[in-house]
């Protein structure tokens, strides 16, 4: 009983990035202030648990942001693993995301992005995508920020249970806001909507809300609820169409 409880607990702790079909970029880039030209943070963890079998968990992530006048660049990467001795990997995923923004005006921003990821639990051997679009700043103040965006993206998917490569053209729209309650706490929320262009009933929806509390200048406590839905009928039968996670953790920023 203990080993099953331990495995479930580990999944809950580190599955925030693992579960997501859509990587939430908004929750990352809002960390950069207007007067800062470079910022980043990294996470690295390795844990070993021994009962009747040994369980290994590993997590690594890196974020780098650069801003200069009208230019903004963002690099994200992450890796997660849970492995139990004598069994296949319970969880194993990784991704790299690169995004570039250029301020066309006070409210309009041009975006271009690319991403590569794999996710053993959702049977994704590889998903690669490139896209471009427009981001609109509805409100951009010190305590409240609201954005909407609309992009075109092309993606290529290779699933573990399917030898055929799937290539899709999708729209990607999102609504995002960041509300600061004080200089130590804020709420960040983003909802993505990604329909397939030649089949509007084939749609992905992802929503994430995070409460962040500054413990110190560099240490932040974060509580996040994430839910995602994917109606694609080509997904392997072992992959659920709706998933959700609730996670709590600490982040170190520099």
Each residue of 209-219: pLDDT tens digit? 999 999 988 78
What pTM, to 2 d.p., does this model score? Answer: 0.75
User: pLDDT-derived band of residue 6, with 50, 70 and 90 as boundaries?
Assistant: very low
* Cα distance between residue 115 and residue 130, in whole Å: 7
Predicted local distance difference test score (pLDDT) of residue 227:
92
According to DSSP, the residues that pair with 213 across neighbouring strands are 185, 221
> What would the mean pLDDT of 161-178 be, rounded to a whole number?
87
Q: Average pLDDT of the chain?
A: 82
| Percent of the chain predicted with pLDDT > 90 | 40
- Non-local (6+) Cβ contacts of 33 within 8 A are 39
Domains of the chain with CATH codes: 2-252 (2.40.160.40)
pLDDT at 20: 46
CA neighbor of 191 nearest in space, from 207, 179, 169, 210:
207
| pLDDT value of residue 156 | 94
- How far is Cα 143 from Cα 210, in angstroms, rounded to an integer? 16
Tokens 């790299």 — which residue? 96
Query: Measuring CA to CA, which residue among 135, 129, 136 is closest to residue 153?
Result: 129
Rounded mean pLDDT of 112-123? 88
Residue 228 CA to residue 209 CA, distance in Å, equals 12
182 vs 254, higher pLDDT: 182
């Amino acid at each position: 009983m203990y080993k099953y409880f331990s495995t479930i607990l580990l999944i809950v702790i580190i599955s925030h990035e693992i579960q997501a079909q859509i990587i939430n970029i908004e929750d990352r880039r809002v960390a950069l202030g207007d007067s800062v030209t470079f910022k980043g943070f990294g996470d690295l963890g390795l844990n070993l648990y021994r009962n009747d079998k040994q369980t290994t968990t590993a997590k690594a992530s890196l974020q780098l942001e650069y801003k200069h006048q009208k230019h903004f660049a963002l690099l994200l990467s992450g890796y997660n693993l849970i492995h139990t001795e004598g069994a296949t990997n319970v969880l194993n995923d990784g991704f790299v995301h690169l995004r570039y923004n250029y301020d066309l005006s006070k409210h309009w921003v041009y975006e271009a992005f690319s991403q590569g990821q794999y996710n053993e639990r959702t049977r994704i051997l590889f998903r690669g995508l490139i896209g471009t679009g427009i981001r609109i700043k509805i409100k951009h103040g010190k305590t409240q920020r609201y954005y909407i965006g609309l992009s075109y993206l092309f993606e290529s998917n290779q699933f573990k249970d399917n030898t055929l490569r799937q290539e899709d053209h999708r729209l990607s729209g999102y609504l995002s806001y960041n509300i600061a309650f004080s200089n130590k706490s804020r709420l960040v929320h983003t909802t993505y909507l990604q329909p397939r262009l030649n089949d509007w009933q084939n749609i992905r929806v992802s929503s994430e809300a995070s409460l962040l509390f500054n413990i110190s200048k560099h240490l932040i406590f974060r509580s996040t609820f994430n839910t995602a839905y994917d109606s694609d009928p080509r997904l392997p039968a072992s992959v659920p169409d709706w998933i959700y996670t609730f996670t709590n953790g600490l982040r170190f920023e520099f």
